[in-house]
Amino acid sequence: MVKKVSMQAISFVSDMKTNIPVILLVFGFLLSACMTGKRSSHDFTYSIGIHTDTNGRPVPVSYVTLQLPQSHNLNQKNWKLYFNSYKNPQIDTPDAGKFTLVPVNGDLNYIAPTADFHIDGNTLVIPIRQALLRNISDFPTGFYLVYDDQPDHYHPFTNQNPQYDQLVLPENALAEEIYERNKRLTPESPVDVAHQLIPTPQSVKSNGQQYALTDGFLVVADNPFAGQAAYLVDELKKYTQLGVRTVNDPTKGGIKLKFWNLEEEAYQLRIENTGIEISAGTVSGMFYGIQTLKSLILDHYRDGKCILPGMEVDDRPRFKHRSLMLDVARNFLPKEKLLQVLDRMAAYKINVLHLHFNDDEGWRIAIPGLPELTSFGGYRGHTSDRNHHLPPSHGSGPDSAATRGSGFYSRKDFIDILTYAKDRFITVIPELETPGHARAAIKSMEHRYHTHVQSDADKATEYLLSDPQDKSKYSTVQGWTDDAINPAMESTYRFVEKVVTELALMYQDAGTELKIVHMGGDEVPAGVWEQSEAVQHLLRENPSFKTVDDLWEYFFNRVGGILAKKDIRMHGWEEIGMKRVDVNGHKKMEVVPELRKNGYLLDVWNNVYGTGAEDLAYRLANQGFDIVLSNVTHMYLDLASTRSFYEPGMYWGGYVNPEKIFGFMPENYYRTFLRDDLDQPIDTASLRDKARLSAEGRKHVNGLQCALWAETILHNENFDYMLYPKLIAFAERAWAPHPAWATAPNETFEKQYNEAWNRFNTVLWQRELPRFDRYWKDILYRIPTPGIKIDNNHIHVNTESEALEVRYTVDGGVPTPTDKVVNGPLKEKGIYRFKAFHKGTARSSRMIVVLK
């Protein structure tokens, strides 16, 4: 059943037999478009609306309106409509005979008319069925039209992000769940925000004193910390007008930076009525002490004055490895935005940037001697012959210069990034994703091959990563059929050595050293290499290799040897400590204890409920592998914050919000592992027999890592929304001491946990995020939607923090900062639209609709 909708809307319909979402594409032929050049002179648009099935569930119908002259009508059957979707899109009945839907590669598909296609008038409906559609990030994106007789000329749709926040779908049930969760945050006693810090120090005490920083105050430092004194002065000049400067006289100075024999990264901060003193035994420890002091100064600086509360802080990190993984390959992150992230990482004492710079969809660092990696692999866009750049993906569209699908860091850019990170005590770990997820590199080197094969065959094959005779059939989770580097070719290892060598030189030029390289290793599908001539030759020459699965260890031994010669440690995803084996006729990955001798550092991501890998991290650590906990269920920041249809993000590993990260228990994460990927309660008894982290295993947990994958991130706004304030919660769990609530007995656990979460959340909203509002207004952090409950015919509303207020409308408009504030129960009937606003600002949550 399809309800009537306007031409400019995506509506919701349903197949009641299968309940699989159906998307309808609607074309209208209205205006003329220039057919010369590569891009149409007119922009095509589409927008989205919502209908529901008889059970109130949203089912998508997408209407794409093409503005074309009647003389170019689609009855000529000479067109293809390209778009991105990795949800197994298909033409739905009864129109399956009118159209052909062809998967191209990865998430790129196109729709073409069949001989039975015909249209009368100027409106055409094409139904597309998808396997899943749980939120707005599942919608197909990146639409553009191409005529067969002009294959390089494309007609893009300019509004690739329709106004999803204006859709009207009541969310009463979810809003009530949020309301009940928010009720826990009513504090029994006020939180002393003035003496609370994030991340929480080992110890912080009020001494009842205070110190006033006046204009022209002085900073004096012991010799090891002269550079840190200069840094502090520069930062305070940037954000205040206090006229601070350094002096060499140890008898002077309102702020003293003192050497004291403390461990790496540890510091002490004393604020008394006679002055301020930071003590540390290392430069990194002094830097973190300055970060704590700087946050206090920025919080208390007003109108040229700054009076700080007296306190004594003793601090050191819980984990030595506190990492943020940023995916700049799927969609590019500009250098300026990355530098901004490094500043926020430093402020919250996160000391590792894991830079995922290559994948199937892009290569983002220029490598001298291999220009094709960025001239070809650094761009995505439409091309009829696939010889200019990579294809569109993740909604990047046909224009190779228009979106985050394209872009890279020049050699100078990357050196600048390394230098900026080094000055903030952040180690940048480059990830050279191999052997899978490597399509950008593979196709770039194939492009190099075709460029030089006629003039210089040796140059053409020198760094080739694929076997031209490979007829292997496989498909990755993301739909790619040609993204695995061939391990049997010597050119593969020349390529790895070349890239690592050039990266090491960039580190050297940045005044630092490349000590660790991440070699990827995740999600290589079954079927790779099986029909490669090069692989079969290698197997014949090495009788110890029984199957292609044995080449997994061979590959990582080879690349590990390249790194070892340069005194570089190998980092990788969990799979490099595992191997694919045959179990009862099925292939699966199993831990190989013997591989621990290689000294790899493993990022362990897979603990998805129901996969059997819930305890994989603990099993690896217990068997002697050094690991970093990167649990998808708690640490993947690109996962949607709630299960709302309107909340952007992935959900395959569940839903992740700041509280879920805060509640992560590294030594016993089962205790707060409460919901599955559908956000439904799990049977905790099913985890009872899973491996526990042993005392020896704890020695191998190097730290924690959160990850922000970029499939759904095309703009700075998306990036900020997914990163903040989740990153702040991660910093708390990675730096702060082991919390008392984590080992509380069952009868008091919930009470202690709720008190701790309330304390953290209060400081977050009353101190941390107001600092963003004052100093970093361009960072558009996420504000949670309000909780709403209908009881006795009254609407009750609450928020996650007292720093938030809720505004609403009942007239159909989107709430603004001037609309009514909810001050009590609401009684009248209607369709209510609510938004939570950070008090005193125009920053707001997305809209939530409740029907009363």
593-624 pLDDT, tens per residue? 999 999 999 999 999 999 999 999 999 999 99
Same domain, 105 and 233: no
CB atoms within 10 A of CB 740: 11
Are 617 and 603 in contact, with CB atoms under 8 Å apart?
A: no
Query: pLDDT at residue 188 above 60?
Result: no
- What DSSP line would sit under 570-639, residue for residue? EEEEGGGGEEEEEETTEEEEEE-GGGGGG--EEEE----TTTT-TTHHHHHHHTT-EEEE--HHHHBTTB
Are 162 and 48 in contact, with CB atoms under 8 Å apart?
A: yes
Instruction: Give the separation between CA 514 and CA 566, rounded to whole angstroms.
Output: 9
Cβ partners under 8 Å of residue 581, min gap 6: 549, 587, 588, 589, 590
CB atoms within 10 A of CB 690: 16
Same domain, 708 and 803: no
**What pLDDT does residue 812 have?**
79
**What pLDDT does residue 202 have?**
98
CATH number of the domain at 846, please. Answer: 2.60.40.10
Residue 539, domain member (yes or no)? no
Show the tokens assigned to 170.
């009541």
Instruction: Give the separation between CA 331 and CA 713, rounded to whole angstroms.
Output: 7
Q: Which of 276, 296, 315 is the last residue of a domain?
A: 315
Beta bridge partners of 431: 356, 518
Same domain, 668 and 624: yes
Show the tokens assigned to 103.
């998967």
Strands 427-434 and 352-356: parallel
Mind listing the pLDDT tens digit for each residue in 351-397? 999 999 999 999 999 999 999 999 999 999 999 888 899 999 999 99
> Average pLDDT in the 469-488 region?
96
- DSSP letter at 738 equals P
- Please name which of 124, 131, 129 lies closest in space to residue 98, comparing C-alpha atoms: 124
Show the tokens assigned to 43.
């922009």
Query: Tokens 């069952």 — which residue?
Result: 746
User: How many whole angstroms from its chain centre is CA 535?
Assistant: 35
**What pLDDT does residue 45 have?**
66
Give the end-to-end CA distance of the chain in Å, rounded to a whole number: 26
The C-alpha angle with vertex 201 and arms to 196 and 206, in degrees rounded to 5, equals 50
Mind listing the pLDDT tens digit for each residue in 117-160? 988 766 677 778 888 888 889 888 898 889 999 999 998 877 65
**What pLDDT does residue 156 have?**
84
Helices (H) and strands (E) in the chain, counts: 19, 36
Instruction: Give the separation between CA 815 and CA 837, rounded to whole angstroms.
Output: 10
- Please name which of 703, 790, 810 lies closest in space to residue 354, comparing C-alpha atoms: 703
The 3-class secondary structure across 261-287, one letter per residue, is CCCCCCEEEEEECCEEEEEECCHHHHH
Residue 5, domain member (yes or no)? no
CATH number of the domain at 125, please. Answer: 2.60.40
Are 320 and 293 in contact, with CB atoms under 8 Å apart?
A: no
Beta bridge partners of 81: 111, 145
**What pLDDT does residue 510 have?**
99
Q: In 692-829, where do the E strands start and end? A: 701-708, 787-791, 794-798, 804-809, 820-821
Mind listing the pLDDT tens digit for each residue in 9-37? 333 333 333 444 555 555 444 333 333 23
**What pLDDT does residue 160 have?**
53
H or E stretch covering 258: strand 255-259
252 pLDDT tier (thresholds 50, 70, 90): confident
Instruction: Give the separation between CA 28 and CA 61, rounded to whole angstroms.
Output: 15
Instruction: Give the separation between CA 261 and CA 494, rounded to whole angstroms.
Output: 46
Cβ partners under 8 Å of residue 750, min gap 6: none
Show the tokens assigned to 251.
């008898």
- Please name which of 433, 431, 435, 432 lies closest in space to residue 535, comparing C-alpha atoms: 435
Q: Which of 166, 195, 216 is the last residue of a domain?
A: 166
Q: Specify burial of residue 70 (Cβ count, 10 A radius: 0-12, 13-18, 19+).
A: exposed
Residue 743, domain member (yes or no)? no
Same domain, 497 and 370: yes
Instruction: Give the separation between CA 559 and CA 492, rounded to whole angstroms.
Output: 9
Strands 123-129 and 108-113: unpaired
Are 22 and 92 in contact, with CB atoms under 8 Å apart?
A: yes
Query: pLDDT at residue 71 above 80?
Result: no
CATH number of the domain at 211, please. Answer: 3.30.379.10
Query: Tokens 């309106």 — which residue?
Result: 65
Instruction: Give the separation between CA 324 and CA 13, rounded to whole angstroms.
Output: 40
- What DSSP line would sit under 65-126, residue for residue? E----GGG-GGG--EEEEEE--S--EEPTTSTTTEEEEEEETTEEEEEE-TT----SSEEEE
Residue 306, domain member (yes or no)? yes
Same domain, 283 and 326: no
Kindly report the length of the chain.
852
Residue 543, domain member (yes or no)? no
Instruction: Give the separation between CA 196 and CA 327, rounded to whole angstroms.
Output: 32
Query: Tokens 């009868």 — which residue?
Result: 747
Mind listing the pLDDT tens digit for each residue in 693-716? 999 999 999 999 999 999 999 888
Same domain, 305 and 326: no
Same domain, 359 and 503: yes
Q: Show the domain range for 832.
A: 178-185+782-851
H or E stretch covering 226: helix 226-239
189 pLDDT tier (thresholds 50, 70, 90): low
Query: Tokens 């001491």 — which residue?
Result: 737
CB atoms within 10 A of CB 829: 11
197 pLDDT tier (thresholds 50, 70, 90): very high
Residue 31, domain member (yes or no)? yes
Strands 321-327 and 305-315: unpaired
Q: How many folded domains does the chain comprise?
A: 4
- DSSP letter at 691 equals P
The C-alpha angle with vertex 466 and arms to 462 and 467, in degrees rounded to 5, equals 100
Same domain, 408 and 449: yes
Query: pLDDT at residue 483 above 70?
Result: yes
Query: pLDDT at residue 44 above 90?
Result: no
Same domain, 651 and 799: no
Beta bridge partners of 582: 587
Instruction: Give the separation between CA 602 and CA 662, rounded to whole angstroms.
Output: 23
| Higher pLDDT pick, 216 / 273 | 273
- DSSP letter at 390 equals B
Residue 419, domain member (yes or no)? yes
From 575-589, 749-763, 823-837, the region with the lowest mean pLDDT: 575-589
Instruction: Give the separation between CA 329 and CA 333, rounded to whole angstroms.
Output: 8
Same domain, 304 and 369: no
Same domain, 678 and 578: yes
CATH number of the domain at 649, please. Answer: 3.20.20.80
Return phi, psi of residue 426, to 5°: -110, 125
170 pLDDT tier (thresholds 50, 70, 90): confident
- What DSSP line would sit under 26-38, residue for residue? EEE--S----SSS
H or E stretch covering 672: none
Please give the model's pTM, rounded to 2 decimal places. 0.94
Residue 742, domain member (yes or no)? no
Beta bridge partners of 44: 157
Encode burial over 474-506: b for 16+ CB neighbours within 10 A, e otherwise.
Answer: bbbebbbbbbbbbbbbebbbbbbbbbbebbbeb
Query: pLDDT at residue 521 above 60?
Result: yes
**In whole numbers, what is the pLDDT of the chain averaged over residues?**
90
Distances (CA, A) of 589 to 586, 613, 740: 10, 10, 36
50 pLDDT tier (thresholds 50, 70, 90): low
Same domain, 838 and 713: no
Q: Which of 315, 343, 366 is the last residue of a domain?
A: 315
